[in-house]
Chains A and B, each alone.
Chain A
């Protein structure tokens, strides 16, 4: 273990003397399976990646009123996301500062106080110690203010709540980088923020979190094989691999976007039918012309991963967010939020839930198959010989430029980030792993 973690500088070396970088074949784009299964690497990525990045916790709509709270994971820690009386959002460690008891074992509710069941310490929604039994005797000359719960930095955008433990992490908008353009297409294009339909679906999966996260960076290569059953029964048309994919080169986010040519440009009512039709005219007012022109070509980021572990899928019919929550090297909890417009009626909300259930989630006919395939990957990653083997990414298409690589049938791509079209190169998936390696090696935020 290198001591570099403390200073945040220099390459990381594992306990057996292997430099982390040796697990990557940068030229041929291969990664040792150990990166997906080694407990030491998992512990390192908890501090280097999850301890520093902006992590998604939930929707503002889940805690609309003062005192509302939701308990959520931030990597291995449980935090309480609370709404203060002044409307502010707090993210506090779910831990009594006295002996460390977890304060909250419910998932959500409304409470003006969090009371520790052990000695009765009482905390406010923003983590201040408000009272305790025998206060004067216990404190002596001490100050209650010294026993406030540790809080994380909070950022909200478009109704989504994020938090980070790292005071040096730049603002959430900086962290989005050029991906801000695409994030806003989906979350900041309407008068009102999107809401979630109920609490997130949760289930556990025996895989490393990066397997799911990299798939949602936009692995369109797997569609025609892994999901052939849906075309076999005529539920969906033939799944094509050719696609538009993008990568935020600095921050590791990536996406896949379907694109229609200008001639076949379908109406927004078709490509964004998950929104009530009456709100669609708002998009042109909130978005800039480039963002709007991409929406008109049916090209919102359809599938995306916001580094490290927030992903979404914005199909024409339904829209969900999800986190690949790391639990262990080979275990995640998957949380999925069904999204809807706040003006959607009950039938429209129900249609979103049904759209998700048929396709993604533990009962979805796409994801049922992904899940077992991914668990078959994890089996080999955790075996003696298999863990030393390499996983491979497709050959690069090179740096995209405006003349080549871009949007061969739709003209010049109007958005930022590196964007490629055609057979997917894995350039965007590789970009995700390069960001991971950068952070793991103590690279600057």
Chain B
């Protein structure tokens, strides 16, 4: 349990802040909104296209520790520790197989992205954001939900910013959903 190994977990600011309204801030905000829209609308293949080839997509396992002992994110155990090939397999399964029962029928999800902070660090554009994902399955009365902070790193490839690192820091230690067949 070493929270220090999870980058930016304690709200550190390694880079140079980019203020709201700055063209770069607006570009990142637009990217995050576009991404949420693609995922909400189940346009998963298009979403894959927005990712950098070197993407690291991680959601560490979390435990409750005493105050002062860290945020509880494990440096190794993870719900996701994916590269682009692994993410592509997940998407391919959902889109191409009629037997991906977790998303057959598709769950309906809505991502609320907020509290966006942007920084520049070397070649990377760093973005922190909060995300709330509400997910409705079949005719279930209740929503499944995940809330998390995301630490993202974007890198410019050609003219476009591509997501190259995402760290998803969830607030629950015991996610209350039969599965995470959705992306945050």
Contact = CB atoms under 8 A, between A and B. Distances in A.
Interface of A: 105-109, 197-206, 225-230, 232-233, 235, 333, 338, 346, 349-350, 353-354, 357-358, 361-363, 365, 367-369, 371-375
Contacts of A109: 65-66, 69
Contact of B63 (A199, A367, A372, A374): A199
B12 interface: no
B26 interface: no
A206 B97 CA distance: 25
B102 A357 contact: no
Given A109-B66, A365-B90, A371-B178, A198 B173 contact: no
B9 to A, nearest CB: 15
Contacts, number: 135
Given A233-B96, A363-B80, 5 more contacts: A204-B176, A333-B174, A349-B76, A357-B81, A369-B101
Nearest to B74: A198
A275 B148 CA distance: 34
Contacts of A201: 61, 77, 79
A353 B81 contact: yes
A74 to B, nearest CB: 17
Contact of B89 (A333, A349, A358): A358
Contacts of B137: 372
Nearest to A351: B81
B96 A368 contact: no
Interface in B14-43: none
Q: What's the interface size class on B, roughly? A: 35 or more
B179 A367 contact: yes
Interface string B67-100: 0010010111111111000100110110011111
A225 to B, nearest CB: 8
A233 B89 contact: yes
Given A108-B63, A203-B176, A375-B178, A232 B89 contact: no
A206 B181 CA distance: 16
6 contacts: A106-B66, A107-B173, A206-B178, A357-B86, A365-B90, A369-B102
